[in-house]
Amino acid sequence: MKTLKIIASLILLFSIQSLSAQYGQGGYGQGGYGQGGFGGNPMNNQNQQMGNQNRTQTVKEPPIEETVKKVVDRIKIQLTLDELQVIAIGNIITESMKKQNAVLKKEDSNENKTSELKAIAEKTDLDILILLDKTQKAKYKQLSEDLRNQQEASSRRGR
């Protein structure tokens, strides 16, 4: 469960970071190119509209495979995984991310989405833990706990 929460959190974190980097503070949005045209020239409306269309088309989430590779590469070193474990865990995380994305896109209440995401995270954790030996399981649980603590600390700072 903790692993899935971590994985789900990492996915969301990567997605949120890329969106805020493009549209948030100093990007195309509030303080960047989006204010009154490019560079603050309100007379350049046509360029602004074209720029908005281009930005809308280019905003994409990173491919699932890319995110999975980052996560697996990180835990591969920390848990000293063999190649078979790397492949199997990569497949588990990929499936988990696809399910999470489907849940997030559904039009449902936040409570239902949260409970579904928790269930997916728990299943992912269990599936991954089955593949690990005793030492790796202990490290994995510690990594999950550390990541959760980091996320809680960063969410407290953001308030």
For residue 56, which phi and psi values (nearest 5 degrees)?
Answer: -65, -40
20 — pLDDT class (breaks 50, 70, 90): very low
36-95: per-residue pLDDT in tens?
444 555 545 555 555 555 555 555 778 889 999 999 999 999 999 999 999 999 999 999
What's the pLDDT at 6? 63
- pLDDT of amino acid 150: 87
The pLDDT, as a whole number, for residue 62 is 84
Q: Give the mean model confidence (pLDDT) for residues 19-42.
A: 48
| Among 21-30, 40-49, 118-127, the range of highest mean pLDDT | 118-127
136 or 158: which carries more pLDDT confidence? 136
Question: What pLDDT is stored for residue 50 in this prediction?
Answer: 52
pLDDT at residue 72, rounded to an integer? 94
Query: What is the model's pTM?
Result: 0.61
Range from 28-32, 39-43, 114-118 that averages highest in pLDDT? 114-118
Is pLDDT above 80 for 130? yes
